[in-house]
Structure 1
Amino acid sequence: MRAMVPRLLALSLFAACSAHAAAGSPPPTPRHDVNDSLGGQPVVDSYRWLENPTGDGVQKWIEAQNAYTEAAIGSMPMGKELSARIRELAITSTTRSSPTLAGGTLFYFENTPPQAQPLLVAKAWPDGPVRTLVDLNKGDGNTAITEYWPSPSGRYLAYGTAEGGSELTTVHILDTQTGKALSDSLPWAGGGTTPQALAWDADEKGVTYARFETPTKAKPLHEFDAFLAHHVIGTTQDKDTVVFGKGYSPVAEYILLEGEGGKTTALLANEGDGGPAEVFLRQGNGPFKKVLGHDADVRSAHWVGDRLYVVTFAGAPRGKVIALDASGKQTDVLPQGEGAIQRVTPIGNGFLVVRSAGPDWWADQYDAKATFVRRLPLPATGITIGGVAAEKGQDKALITYGGWTQPTRWAEYDGASGTLKTVFEVKPAADYSKVRVTRIDGTSKDGTKIPVTVISMDGITPNGKRPTILYSYGGFGIPVTPGFVGANLAWLERGGVLAYANIRGGNEFGEQWHEQGQKTHKQNVFDDFYAASQALVATHWTDTKHLGILGGSNGGLLMGAALTQHPEQYRAVVAMVGIYDVGRHETAFANGPYNVSEYGSVKDPAVAKAIRAYTPIYNIKKGTAYPSVLITTGANDPRVAPWQSRKFAAGLQDASTSGNPVLLLTRMDAGHGIGAPFSQRVGNAALSMTFFANELGLGE
């Protein structure tokens, strides 16, 4: 089974724990109780010793758990077959993503599976030859490009790299005409806790970028208090000057947006994840001046000509658009309308607005006076609109989209005529024409309707026991969107069913939908997911003996809450890089304070009480028949501490009486999944699908 979990487990680890696997019992985990409190209620943390990866016995425990998991997965009969099919389906034609137009040049990522990492390429728009600018595939594939930023004319390109899933970014700069790298290297440029941000000067002689303080032996890396620094091209990083952010917030996050030609720069500054941004503007290299505060509830913005179009949700739960001129003067542009605004981009002398309502996405065109022109002729359902690349004054824009049965497609939209012409599409490795999409609704505890999309093959009808995997996320305003089935066809073509729930915490219906899943309202997320699972049973797609659930990160928290609140509802659970001890996430891990804007703080008694009520690790009940569980994490994860998974797995292994496996896999050269190489992504999919196939009876 090593091909299924590439480069993760050595043969010696497999042998070390074969006795546990053969006996059907996990490696023993000593309990060392620590008495604590959360929300005014006493809690016992029996596995706090597992938080320290260099602590006595922790690495040996991780090795034993890895070996136990590999032995268990290796004994599952469909593993080899599914691994081969998933790899086959993942090798599509060349893919493209993340397009950006600058100075008439189109920049984007291009990947030809099984290439480990995408290339960063450029071409004169629309018909120039493709030129490779950055190729990181010469090593082991564990160095990834995190982001890129072309200069206003397209002459130069800044891009970030990170190693081994850590996301800690170093910015590099190259000349796009010669393809040669400049001497500039800017480490500590955000990543993980603080997203990268960069904007070019109008004369292209310098950049403003987000960074941490340079670590020293006496003062190690401190992933807080990020600030904006100005760097002059050709100088060393120690010559950089601070331009914003000293003292702004210990959990500052920044988005920099260049105006026309880089003459004006907008800054969206957040205090942590999931909250509204403050908006600042500057002229040239002058100071940033605040023009909108948190009360404007700003979530995104884009330059349209010489004005910044800002999406604000203040008094408009689905969003409205206002414009700011260079001085910060505000003008109303577009009132709240149908659907939640996801983004605004320019086209010609007007703009496009991308909207959503649950799983449905569309785009509307408006002229310079914000008069509606037309809805773009895209499929009405089943797709997600990705990037939109356009430049001021051009009537044509590049629209990227894809959906359940449609891999990535790029289309040239002509705003003058309203025509849409496909200019690129990924050729899948199989026929997806027989994939069927069905909509059902769940009803949450408070009566809220929860859309659920059900994916199956033609001829697979509800019979009350279809092996079914239900996925959702539920947080940080991140929507669950129609994504290409891809390698999951291996599940569908064997009679399995996939389901995706649009639960609260995302922004599918606007900011109110997000807020109803935050802080003291977090239980709504778990109730919504339970309602979605009940709807699958009520409509006879499946039953509790054939229902599996899947989620990662904040969705891993969702998995932990789902299986501890309703262990009888699910037969199998795959929880990836999840948060299972929310209180300790805030107080004992660097990224935790960044998430306070989403989860709230344990310093607030009402929030602490809510966290105590749903936190999975403190709601494990000894003697409970828990479902089969596979927990995965990455040793280098900067977003969620891997000890979260260690503690949760240990607690479940000790408590469960069902006899079902509780497995933990720690990937030693991986992080949260951002920038993972092709082989690791395929291995992840094969691992989860093999586990679900075995536990849910796929193909029986």
Structure 2
Amino acid sequence: MRRTVLLVSLVLLAASCSPPGSDGFEYPSAARSEQQDDYFGVEVADPYRWMEEMDAPETADWISAQNELVEPYLASIELREQLRERLTEVWNYPRRSAPWREGPWYFEFQNDGLQNHSVLYVRDGLDGEARALLDPNSWSEDGTVSLAGNSVSPGVRYIAYAKSDGGSDWRDWHVREVATGEDLSDHLTYTKFTGVSWTPDERGFYYSRYPVDGQGAGDDKKAVSVYFHELGTEQAEDRLVLQMPPDEGRNAYAAVTEDGAYLIVVLQEGYLSNAVHYRRMDEPDTAIRPLLDEWDAIYSYVANEGDTFFFSTNRDAPRRKVISLDIDSPQEWTEVIPESENTLLNISAVGGRLIASYLQDVKPLVLVREADGSLVGQIELPGIGSVSGFGGKWDDPETFYNFSGFTDPGAVYRYDVGTGESTLHHRTVTSIDGTQFVTRQVFYDSKDGTRVPMFLVHRRDLERTGDHPTLLYGYGGFNISLRPVYSSSRLVWLELGGMLAIPNLRGGGEYGREWHLAGTRERKQNVFDDFIAAAQWLIDEGYTMPSRLVIQGSSNGGLLVGAVMTQRPDLFGAALPDVGVLDMLRYHTPSANARAWADDYGLSENEADFRAQYAYSPVHRVAEGVCYPPTLVTTADHDDRVVPWHSYKFAAALQHAQGCARPVLIRIETRAGHGAGTPTWMRIEDVANQFAFAADAVGLGGGSDGG
């Protein structure tokens, strides 16, 4: 249990700054209240609880004062403008996505280089003339309204598309005619994290939405339910298909099978298990019935041939396998693709075959199999990198995929399912010569002896002099795998003489379910131990030293940075926690989506979870008088996924506690969210700020000496 102790006092924010601390900075005053909470007999102070009122005048004043402090500081770093110019140059290259086919039409995203958002094009035939269908760059002057989802109707008459304003997770859905580019009157709101799925007759689509609260807004502290929207009608008239109890935490999402014969409904609660229900489309008045309802694993629908359904699952297979079952006897399974020593990352069904993408020690492996599981062959890939794509339908003769690496912007290939031949469709060309850098994979031992892989990227002529400025980036959570992907901004860091290191920490999905679970709840400390061990390995192997080591991470990776810098402040030369989850005792309070993270983090409502969280929660581990590394906290005022008060509290606590002359600053972006949909100009500015701060701290490109 937890009880809240009465707030004794809250001193209003002073208009002036606090007296200079031991670091020499005059930080904006942040009132420290006497708020305390009792967690299972442990009194926990929360002096910055008032910052959770994000629209309060006191919070707004504090945000403005912090930005007024950080902007001149960043502007004073001579390297920042050079970085901004170089980032703009290297970002300015044409790029195209892998196309996907809908009937005779092909769709793909293109960006001419510095467009704030990629444009969705459509063409009649693969070699037809491309026509812009959705251009998010025309939706706002500053580029802060973005395209956040799309779904083409089966007959390619319509495309439903979602807009996000200011980086918010909230989506507004619209419908456009593909042939004319004209919008219909349809407008849907109250949605997050949902796609839409069309009926075969294109009469409308299924989607999931939140209930409406008393103020007429979507209530994202409740569960979503499934609705059907008929084109040409108001959202208020949408038919409720499946009502979910609002307070039980289970969300429902529906999709029509490719053959139009079934409605599949996936029930989700957290990230470790789900259920699958269904209804025949020709029986619209029958109840939606269970198909896989044991809540014992994750089941992901792949495809169906008539009444035979294919699913990938981690039931009794931590690295996933593919099964088939008859919908009339779902308890009788056939193992189509057994679990292997490699982690099954994705499975698609194209041209009557199954294309399985694996991680083999975090490197890509793609195998093609018949529907009965027999091996057809392997798709040969160029080396260390990442592969994505392989979308398509059961009767499509072709699919497309993209391959890229840390220093290779990549290429798009067309794969002929019948012949097994891959042909180059489009190669991306940039102004940076990636061949001057090398990518290597190493393995090191964590604190408990676990073998952890890590990618290193640096100049070919790098020597182990022990003083290279190194950017150590990590995530370690939610079954997410960090794969080798191209990044123009990281190449700029390498150009300046820096080095990049990316360890594949426990909590991720690189080695399946067990690897993920080993970095969750009471075992979350394993993630931090893995990251600290990576830093120590880089030092011991003669690549860098603590004063030249920068740590960076976003979201769950922001938690990672906050945790390790409070546990080992002596080990790092600069810290960049971005949009981080930093108050582990209250992270679950803003929304139902945040509460669903309990599978990874636990809930402070449970004693065992609380004690694990309290041991590493960054906000609660800040200690007065400790010398913390130079730190730039970054967040956005429209982030409604990881709400920005996490970063506000952490920055305020660090500024109050800092015991040496090293800066602790926070930059709060306005008109931005958790990262998705951020316009190009804002992304360039953000990277320039972070890299300039880090480079100045560790002596890269003419910065300080890193001491």
Pairing of 1:191-340 with structure 2 (within 5 A):
191=192, 195-217=193-215, 221-247=219-245, 250-272=248-270, 274-284=271-281, 285=284, 287-298=287-298, 300-306=300-306, 307-327=308-328, 329=330, 330-340=333-343
Please tell me whether residue 378 in structure 1 is matched to residue 374 in structure 2.
no
Q: Check the 8 A contact 1:340/1:510 in 2, yes or no.
A: yes
Q: Indicate if the aligned counterparts of 2:350 and 2:393 stay in contact, CA closer than 8 A.
A: yes
Matching residue's letter, 1:174: R
State the SS of the aligned residue for 1:545.
helix
Q: Does the 8 Å CA contact 1:317/1:511 hold for their aligned counterparts? A: yes
Structure 1 stretch displaced more, 673-682 or 385-394: 385-394
Structure with larger RCO (C-alpha < 8 A, sep 6+): 1
The one-letter amino acid paired with 1:558 is: L
TM-score, normalised with respect to structure 1: 0.93
1:685 maps to which of 684, 687, 704:
687
2:353 aligned to which of 325, 330, 350: 350
Q: Could you say which residue in structure 2 is the equivalent of 1:101?
A: 101
In structure 2, the CA distance between the partners of 1:453 and 1:39, relative to structure 1 (3 Å rule), is farther
Residue in structure 2 matched with residue 8 of structure 1 by the alignment = none
Q: Give the SS at the match of 2:186.
A: strand
* Residues 490/148 of structure 1: CA separation in 2 closer, same or farther (3 Å cut): same
Q: Out of 530-539 and 46-55, give the one that drifted further.
A: 46-55
Partners of 1:40 and 1:555 lie apart in 2 by 30
- Judged with a 3 Å threshold, the aligned counterparts in structure 2 of structure 1 residues 223 and 424 are, in CA distance, closer, same or farther, namely farther
C-alpha distance in 1 between matches for 2:594 and 2:493: 35
Assess, with a 3 A threshold, how the Cα gap between structure 1 residues 157 and 308 changes in structure 2: closer, same or farther. farther
Q: Contact 1:311 / 1:319 at 8 angstroms: preserved in 2?
A: yes
Indicate how the Cα distance of structure 1 residues 484 and 255 shifts in structure 2: closer, same or farther if over 3 A, else same: farther
Q: Deviations over 1:343-397 (max 9, x none)?
A: 1111322210011134211210001221011110112x42112222222233321
CA drift at 1:55? 3.1
Partner of 1:114: 114
Contact 1:591 1:640 in 2 (8 A): no
Correspondence for 2:705: none
Q: Distance in 1 between the 2:16 and 2:459 partners?
A: 42
Residue deviations 1:603-651 (CA, integer Å, cap 9, x gap): 2211111011111111111111100111011111111111111110011
| Stretches of 4+ aligned residues off by more than 6 angstroms | 15-22
What is the rounded CA distance, in whole Å, between the counterparts of 2:181 and 2:665 in structure 1?
47
The 2-side partners of 1:615 and 1:505 are apart by 16
Distance across 1 between alignment mates of 2:663 and 2:343: 42
Q: Once the two structures are aligned, what percentage of the paired residues are identical? A: 31
Name the counterpart of 2:66.
Answer: 65
1:6 aligns with none
Secondary structure at 2:480 match in 1: coil
In the aligned structure 2, how far is the partner of 1:47 from the partner of 1:234? Answer: 49
Alignment coverage as a number of residue pairs = 679
How far has the Cα of 1:433 moved from its partner? 1.3
Which stretches in structure 1 are left out of the alignment for 5+ residues?
A: 1-14
SS in 1 for 2:700: coil
Which amino acid is the alignment partner of residue 103 of structure 2?
G
Q: 2-side partners of 1:57 and 1:542: how far apart?
A: 42
Does structure 2 conserve the Cα–Cα contact (< 8 Å) formed by 1:224 and 1:252? no
Q: Which amino acid aligns with 1:55?
A: A
Distance 1:248 1:62, change over 3 A: closer
SS of corresponding position for 1:453: strand
Q: Which moved more, 1:114-123 or 1:562-571?
A: 114-123
Q: 8 Å contact 2:96–2:108 — kept in the other structure?
A: no
Match of 1:466 among 458, 465, 468: 468
Contact kept, 8 Å, 1:549 with 1:573, in 2: the verdict is: yes
Aligned-pair CA distance for 1:402: 1.5
SS in 1 for 2:366: strand
Given the superposition, is the C-alpha separation of residues 218 and 436 from structure 1 closer, same or farther in structure 2, using an over 3 Å criterion? closer
Q: Quick one: structure 1 residues 224 and 376, their matched pair in 2 at CA, closer, same or farther if it must change by over 3 Å?
A: same
* 1:298/1:310 contact within 8 Å kept: no
Aligned partners of 1:257 and 1:302 also within 8 Å: no
Q: State the Cα deviation string for residues 461-495 of structure 1 (Å, max 9, x = none).
A: 22101000101111111111101131222111121
Q: What letter is aligned with 2:224?
A: A
Name the amino acid aligned to 2:123. Answer: K
Q: C-alpha deviations, 1:557-586, integer Å up to 9, x for none?
A: 111101011111111000111111111111
Structure 1 partner of 2:75 = 74
Q: Which residue of 2 aligns with 1:42?
A: 43
Bigger mean CA offset, 592-601 vs 526-535: 592-601
Note the C-alpha offset of 1:16. Answer: 9.5
Q: Distance in 2 between matches of 1:112 and 1:209?
A: 33
Structure 2 Cα separation of the partners of residues 215 and 89 of structure 1: 46
In 2, the alpha carbon distance for the partners of 1:368 and 1:341 equals: 16
What does the per-residue CA deviation read over 1:189-216, in whole Å, with 9 as the maximum and x for residues that have no partner?
A: x22xxx1121111211011101112345
Query: What are the ranges of 5 or more consecutive residues in structure 2 without an aligned counterpart?
Result: 1-14, 703-707
SS at match of 2:345: strand
CA shift in 2, pair 1:539/1:592, >3 Å: same
Kept in 2, the 8 Å contact 1:226–1:251? The answer is: no
Instruction: Confirm or deny that 1:361 pairs with 2:364.
Output: yes
Q: Aligned residue for 1:164? A: 166
Which amino acid in 2 is paired with 1:227?
S
2:635–2:667 CA contact under 8 A, matched in 1: yes
- TM-superposed deviation, 1:258: 3.2
1:400-479 alignment runs, 5 A limit:
400-479=402-481
How far the C-alpha of 1:125 sits from its partner, in A, is 4.5
Whether the 8 Å contact between 2:221 and 2:590 is mirrored in structure 1 is: no
* CA distance in structure 1 between the aligned counterparts of 2:466 and 2:398, rounded to whole angstroms: 49
Q: Which residue pairs with 1:55 in the alignment?
A: 56
The answer to whether the Cα contact below 8 Å between 1:639 and 1:672 also exists between their aligned partners in 2 is yes
Q: 1:240 to 1:124 in 2, by over 3 A?
A: same
1: distance between equivalents of 2:367 and 2:565? 41
Q: 1:19 to 1:422 in 2, by over 3 A?
A: farther
CA contact (8 A) 1:321 1:334 kept: yes
Give the corresponding residue for 2:9. none
Name the counterpart of 1:4: none
On the 8 A contact 1:440/1:453 being kept in 2, the answer is: yes
- Secondary structure of 2:586's partner? helix
Q: Is contact 1:275-1:598 (8 Å) kept? A: no
The residue number in structure 1 matching 2:7 is none
CA distance in 2, matches of 1:415, 1:579: 43
Q: Residues of 2 paired with 1:676 and 1:219: CA distance?
A: 24
- Look up the equivalent residue of 2:629 and give its one-letter code: P
Q: 1:82 to 1:35 in 2, by over 3 A?
A: same
Distance 1:81 1:69, change over 3 A: same
Q: Distance in 1 between matches of 2:289 and 2:464?
A: 59
Query: Contact 1:473–1:503 (CA<8 Å) still a contact in 2?
Result: yes
User: 2: CA distance between counterparts of 1:371 and 1:281?
Assistant: 28
Shift in Å, 1:63: 0.6
Q: Is the 8 A contact 1:39 1:612 kept in 2?
A: no
Residues 673 and 655 (structure 1), Cα distance of their counterparts in 2 relative to 1, 3 Å cut? same
Q: Secondary structure at the match of 1:343?
A: strand
Q: Mark the CA change 1:677 to 1:218 in structure 2 (over 3 Å): closer, same or farther.
A: closer
User: d(CA) in 1 for partners of 2:511 and 2:163?
Assistant: 34
